[in-house]
């Protein structure tokens, strides 16, 4: 039982990182990015390609983050030309496009990805530690840097930010880039557990959407907590009740949210 | 929630405005009742005559595909109620389509007569639409997209596990043509599907023009003002979603009648995305959008490079889809002349 909980926390760390990315994009650009999981999948492939080329895992990781940042910012600049509902549908188009591109480039063959963390219950500390570090770094960037200040200004009032000379579009690209870095972490964390393939983030995306919804797509800490909770709940339900119950956990969380009204939901406007 | 997709292009100035007012081009917002075409009755008559004569002119395989187009028209008419008129996004219509298809298939394989499967599929999808829609529409607009996405992901594994046939799928018999008609079975199925699609279209027109339908459009335009006028956003949107799910379920039943085979792999999140892409590319909030979208859904291969690019480009260049482009064409031509 304890072992299962630890295993669930490891899965939950993946969801938490991806949920963090979703919260960042929604907070700073007002869009729920359905393509976030696919961007993370591409990052995992980039990391795999770098390791395959002979780099050590810990050298490939920062390089992957840089590539992920560029890819996220580029995706925002190239694709996100609308706001509101159209923007949401555009992220779905991006999801389809990135998925198809990845299947073209890397084929849908299953690949194994190196796991830097030791197995067993204690190995879960690795993913959790990585997520904690990313959360702390993002906090530092957003709270204590000039770029973070403009980000928060745009999030608070895009029009006022534009009037005071901030290039809102570029700041949105910055938000997407930061989110893509958080997403890349989830991709690299999940790749050793499931095999590397274009569809690998499908399940994680649903869980991360539910986790981000716990925080009303606005509260990063609630999103991380939601991710860990869903990870543990999925593992326990899958192990002790019924294997197929796993897929119902995110849906159950989402449907229960309006009734429970956790604190984080204050961020969701009715 | 923003005013929605269809308000993005209020640039047309029709002839006869004259006063310097800019009024929206015809068809730029849902519920616009100005005529877009001078000969509606003649066109309707020709369309009906053409549609009825199709099975006698077209060889079997193309006929099968035309039947599928009609099936997707029903599904897209339903999706359009939520996405076009309601301005909310559902990623779960593939799942409701699959639930309807499986309801029909299970009843058929249990020996039920096929006319019974249609209301059964519609009712099951309607009930589930209420069950998922009611909590989903309570929160902000994106929430419905997220919940329906989770539904779309969860349904295929459940079908694989619970439904008869499992992952292998379930073959069923398709409706036989009654002896006295002298028709082939596929011709009969086409005519059945055509009749249901025509009924679905007529009913949807009535729904959109009903009090609740107009309330739905009003909510999209300005939720705050609509609520002040006494409309209840959650109840109206939940009803619209349930109706929309019912249409998807009915379309799923027609799919079973047409193909005679259902499998969990046919109703994954891919189908939901394809349906949404179809209605967006065809044009939201219009009947012709549903028809063009259904052709796109039938003939475009499964989501890939083409449909991803098409979705992004259509939204960037022509947010009202192909229908919007066609309707704007006269205004463009006039502007060039003057």
Task: Give the tens place of pLDDT for each residue, A172-181.
Answer: 899 999 999 9
Interatomic CA distance for residues B124 and B102, integer angstroms: 10
In a domain, B304, yes or no: no
Q: What is the pLDDT of residue B25?
A: 61
User: Which of A162-166, B42-46, B101-105, B318-322 is the least confident region?
Assistant: B318-322
Mean pLDDT of chain A: 84
The owner of tokens 């997220």 is: B146
Interatomic CA distance for residues B188 and B182, integer angstroms: 9
Residues 6+ apart with CB under 8 A from A267: A215, A216, A217, A218, A219
pLDDT band at B32 (very low <50, low <70, confident <90, very high): low
Higher-confidence residue of B76 and B35: namely B76
Q: Considering Cα of B146, then B148, then B149, then B155, what sign does the dihedral take?
A: positive
CB atoms B158 and A90 under 8 Å: no
Interatomic CA distance for residues B268 and A186, integer angstroms: 24
Mean pLDDT of chain B: 84
Q: What is the pLDDT of residue B4?
A: 40
Chain B positions in Cβ-Cβ contact with residue A34 (cut-off 8 Å): 145, 149
Does residue B11 carry a pLDDT above 70? no
CB atoms A89 and B158 under 8 Å: no
Q: What is the DSSP string of chain A?
A: -HHHHHHHHHHHHHHHHHHHHHHHHHHHHS---TTHHHHHHHHHHHHHHHHHTT--HHHHHHHHHHHHHHHHHHHHHHH----THHHHHHHHHHHHHHHHHHHHHH-S--B-----S-SSGGGGHHHHHHHHHHHHHHHHHHHHSHHHHHHHHHHH-HHHHHHTT--HHHHHHHHHHHHHHHHHHHHHHHTTTSPB-TTTTHHHHHHHHHHHHHTTTT-HHHHHHHHHHHHHHHHHIIIII-GGGGGHHHHHHHHHHHHH--GGGGGS--
pLDDT in tens, A60-80: 888 999 999 999 999 998 888
Interatomic CA distance for residues B85 and B205, integer angstroms: 12
The owner of tokens 């480039």 is: A105
Structure tokens at A88: 């949401």
Mean pLDDT of B22-49: 72
Taking CA–CA distances from A245, the nearest residue in chain B reads B158
Q: Do residues A43 and A188 make contact, with C-beta atoms less than 8 angstroms apart? A: yes
Q: Do residues B105 and B172 make contact, with C-beta atoms less than 8 angstroms apart? A: yes
pLDDT in tens, B244-257: 999 999 999 999 99
Q: What is the pLDDT of residue A35?
A: 92
CB atoms A250 and B150 under 8 Å: yes
* Strand B261-262 versus strand B170-171 pairing type: antiparallel
* Angstrom distances, CA of residue A150 to CA of A156, A162, A166, B84, B290: 10, 10, 7, 35, 43
Interatomic CA distance for residues B154 and A206, integer angstroms: 9
Mean pLDDT of A7-34: 89
CB atoms B147 and A255 under 8 Å: yes
Does residue B238 carry a pLDDT above 60? yes
Mean pLDDT of B296-306: 80
Q: What is the pLDDT of residue B190?
A: 94
Interatomic CA distance for residues A48 and A60, integer angstroms: 8
Q: What is the pLDDT of residue B334?
A: 61
Q: What is the pLDDT of residue B258?
A: 94
Interface test with A, best of B1, B6, B149 (most A CBs within 10 A): B149
Does residue A2 carry a pLDDT above 90? no
Q: Say how many domains are in chain B.
A: 1
- Closest residue by Cα to residue B148 from B91, B198, B97: B91
Range of the domain at B165: 60-268
Q: What is the pLDDT of residue B72?
A: 95
Chain A positions in Cβ-Cβ contact with residue B154 (cut-off 8 Å): 206, 247-248, 250-251
CB atoms B149 and A255 under 8 Å: no
Q: What is the pLDDT of residue B335?
A: 58
Q: What is the pLDDT of residue A270?
A: 33
Interatomic CA distance for residues B71 and B294, integer angstroms: 8
- Give a three-class secondary structure readout of chain B: CCCCHHHCCCCCCCCCCCCCCCCCCCCCCCCCCCCCCCCHHHHHHHHHHHHHHHHHHCCHHHHHHHHHHHHHHHHHHHHHHHHHHCCCCCCCHHHHHHHHHHHHHHHHHCCCCHHHHHHHHHHHHHHHHHHHHHHHCCCCHHHHHHHHHHHHHHHHHHHHHHCCCHHHCEECCCCCCCHHHCCCHHHHHHHHHHHHHHHHHHHHHHHHHCHHHHHHHHHHHCHHHHHHCCCCHHHHHHHHHHHHHHHHHHHHHHHHHHHCEECHHHHCHHHHHHHHHHHHHHCCCCHHHHHHHHHHHHHCCCCCHHHHHHHHHHHHHCCCHHHHHHHHHHHHHHHHHC
Residues 6+ apart with CB under 8 A from A183: A17, A18, A21, A36, A37, A39, A40, A43, A68, A72
In a domain, B150, yes or no: yes
State the nearest Cα–Cα gap between B69 and chain A, in angstroms.
Answer: 22
Q: Do residues B8 and A86 make contact, with C-beta atoms less than 8 angstroms apart? A: yes
Interatomic CA distance for residues B310 and B322, integer angstroms: 11
Interatomic CA distance for residues B80 and B87, integer angstroms: 9
Residues 6+ apart with CB under 8 A from A14: A127, A186, A189, A190, A193, A204, A227, A231
Q: Do residues A214 and A223 make contact, with C-beta atoms less than 8 angstroms apart? A: yes
Does residue B286 carry a pLDDT above 60? yes
Chain B positions in Cβ-Cβ contact with residue A90 (cut-off 8 Å): 311-312, 315-316
Q: What is the pLDDT of residue A45?
A: 92
Residue B230 falls in which region: left (phi positive, over 0), alpha (psi -120 to 50) or beta: left
User: Which of A19-23, B137-141, B222-226 is the least confident region?
Assistant: B137-141
Interatomic CA distance for residues A251 and A269, integer angstroms: 20
State the nearest Cα–Cα gap between A132 and chain B, in angstroms.
Answer: 26
pLDDT in tens, B114-161: 899 999 999 999 999 999 888 887 766 788 899 999 999 999 988 988
User: Which of A122-126, A141-145, B157-161 is the least confident region?
Assistant: A122-126
Higher-confidence residue of A131 and B151: namely B151
Mean pLDDT of A136-155: 88
pLDDT in tens, A51-65: 888 888 888 888 999
In a domain, B323, yes or no: no
Does residue A126 carry a pLDDT above 60? yes
Higher-confidence residue of B135 and A21: namely A21
A 59-98 residues with CB < 8 A to B: 79, 81-86, 88-90, 92-98
Mean pLDDT of B51-61: 88
Taking CA–CA distances from A22, the nearest residue in chain B reads B146
pLDDT in tens, A197-252: 888 888 889 999 999 988 888 888 888 899 999 999 988 887 777 777 778 888 88
Q: What are phi and psi of B171, to 5 degrees?
A: -80, 140
With 0-12 CB in 10 A as exposed, 13-18 as middle and 19+ as buried, what is B19?
Answer: exposed
Chain A positions in Cβ-Cβ contact with residue B151 (cut-off 8 Å): 251
Chain A positions in Cβ-Cβ contact with residue B5 (cut-off 8 Å): 84-86
User: Which of A116-130, A153-167, A247-261, B226-240 is the least confident region?
Assistant: A116-130
pLDDT in tens, B187-206: 999 999 999 999 999 999 89
Q: What are phi and psi of A110, to 5 degrees?
A: -75, 135
Chain B positions in Cβ-Cβ contact with residue A244 (cut-off 8 Å): 157-158, 161
Structure tokens at A21: 């990315």
- Closest residue by Cα to residue B212 from B169, B243, B176: B243
Taking CA–CA distances from A103, the nearest residue in chain B reads B304
Whole-model pTM: value is 0.87
In a domain, B139, yes or no: yes
Interatomic CA distance for residues B72 and B66, integer angstroms: 10
Chain A positions in Cβ-Cβ contact with residue B309 (cut-off 8 Å): 93, 97
Interatomic CA distance for residues A17 and A173, integer angstroms: 19
pLDDT band at B180 (very low <50, low <70, confident <90, very high): confident
Does residue A138 carry a pLDDT above 80? yes
- Closest residue by Cα to residue A100 from B281, B294, B311: B311
pLDDT band at B221 (very low <50, low <70, confident <90, very high): confident
Under CATH, which architecture does the A2-109+118-267 domain have? Orthogonal Bundle (1.10)
pLDDT band at A192 (very low <50, low <70, confident <90, very high): confident
In a domain, B301, yes or no: no
In a domain, B82, yes or no: yes
CB atoms B8 and A270 under 8 Å: no
CB atoms B307 and A90 under 8 Å: no
In a domain, B127, yes or no: yes
Higher-confidence residue of B270 and B303: namely B270
State whether residue A176 sits within 8 Å of chain B by CB.
no
């Amino acid at each position: 039982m304890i072992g299962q909980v630890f295993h669930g926390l490891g899965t939950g760390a993946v969801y938490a990182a991806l949920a963090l990315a979703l919260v960042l994009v929604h907070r700073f650009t007002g869009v729920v990015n359905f393509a976030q999981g696919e961007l993370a999948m591409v990052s995992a492939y980039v990391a795999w390609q770098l390791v395959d080329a002979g780099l050590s895992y810990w050298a490939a990781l920062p390089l992957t983050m840089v590539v992920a940042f560029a890819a996220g910012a580029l995706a925002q600049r190239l694709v996100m030309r609308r706001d509101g509902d159209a923007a949401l549908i555009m992220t779905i188009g991006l999801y389809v496009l990135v998925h198809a591109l990845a299947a073209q480039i890397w084929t849908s063959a299953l690949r194994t990805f190196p796991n830097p963390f030791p197995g067993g219950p204690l190995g879960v500390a690795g993913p959790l530690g990585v997520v904690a570090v990313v959360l702390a770094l993002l906090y530092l960037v957003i709270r204590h840097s000039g770029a973070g200040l403009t980000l928060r200004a745009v999030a608070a009032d895009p029009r006022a930010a534009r009037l005071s000379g901030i290039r809102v579009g570029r700041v949105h690209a910055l938000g997407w880039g930061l989110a893509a870095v958080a997403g890349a972490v989830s991709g690299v964390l999940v790749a050793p557990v499931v095999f590397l393939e274009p569809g690998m983030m499908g399940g994680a995306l649903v869980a991360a959407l539910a986790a981000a919804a716990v925080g009303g797509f606005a509260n990063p800490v609630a999103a991380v907590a939601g991710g860990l909770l869903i990870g543990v709940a999925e593992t326990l339900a899958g192990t002790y009740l019924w294997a197929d119950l796993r897929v119902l956990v995110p849906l159950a969380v989402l449907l229960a949210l309006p009734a429970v009204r956790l604190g984080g939901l204050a961020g969701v406007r009715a | 929630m923003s005013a929605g997709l269809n308000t993005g292009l209020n640039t047309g100035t029709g002839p006869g405005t004259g006063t310097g007012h800019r009024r929206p081009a015809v068809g730029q917002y849902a519920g616009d009742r100005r005529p877009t075409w001078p000969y509606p009755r003649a066109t309707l008559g020709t369309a009906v005559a053409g549609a009825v004569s199709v099975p006698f002119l077209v060889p079997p395989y193309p006929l099968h595909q035309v039947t599928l187009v009609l099936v997707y028209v029903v599904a897209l008419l339903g999706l359009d109620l939520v996405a076009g008129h309601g301005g909310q996004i559902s990623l779960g219509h593939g799942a409701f389509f699959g639930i309807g298809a499986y309801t029909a298939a299970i009843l058929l394989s249990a020996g039920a007569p096929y006319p019974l499967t249609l209301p059964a599929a519609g009712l099951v999808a309607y009930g589930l639409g209420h069950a998922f829609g009611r909590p989903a529409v309570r929160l902000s607009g994106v929430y419905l997209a997220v919940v329906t996405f989770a539904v779309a992901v969860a349904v295929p594994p459940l079908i694989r596990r619970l439904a008869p046939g499992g992952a292998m799928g379930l073959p069923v018999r398709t409706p036989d043509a009654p002896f006295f008609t002298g028709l082939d079975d596929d011709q009969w199925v086409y005519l059945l599907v055509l009749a249901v699609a025509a009924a679905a279209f007529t009913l949807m027109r009535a729904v959109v023009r009903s009090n609740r339908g107009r309330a739905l459009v009003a909510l999209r335009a300005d939720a705050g003002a609509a609520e002040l006028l006494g409309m209840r956003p959650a109840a109206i949107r939940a009803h619209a979603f349930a109706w929309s799910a019912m249409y998807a379920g009915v379309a799923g039943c027609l799919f079973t009648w047409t193909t005679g085979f259902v499998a969990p792999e046919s109703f994954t999140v891919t189908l939901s995305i394809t349906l949404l892409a179809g209605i967006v590319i065809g044009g939201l909030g219009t009947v012709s959008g549903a028809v063009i979208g259904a052709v796109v859904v039938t003939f475009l291969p499964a989501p890939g490079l083409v449909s991803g690019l098409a979705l992004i480009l259509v939204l960037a260049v022509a947010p009202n889809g192909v229908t919007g482009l066609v309707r704007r064409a006269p205004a463009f031509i006039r502007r060039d002349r003057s």
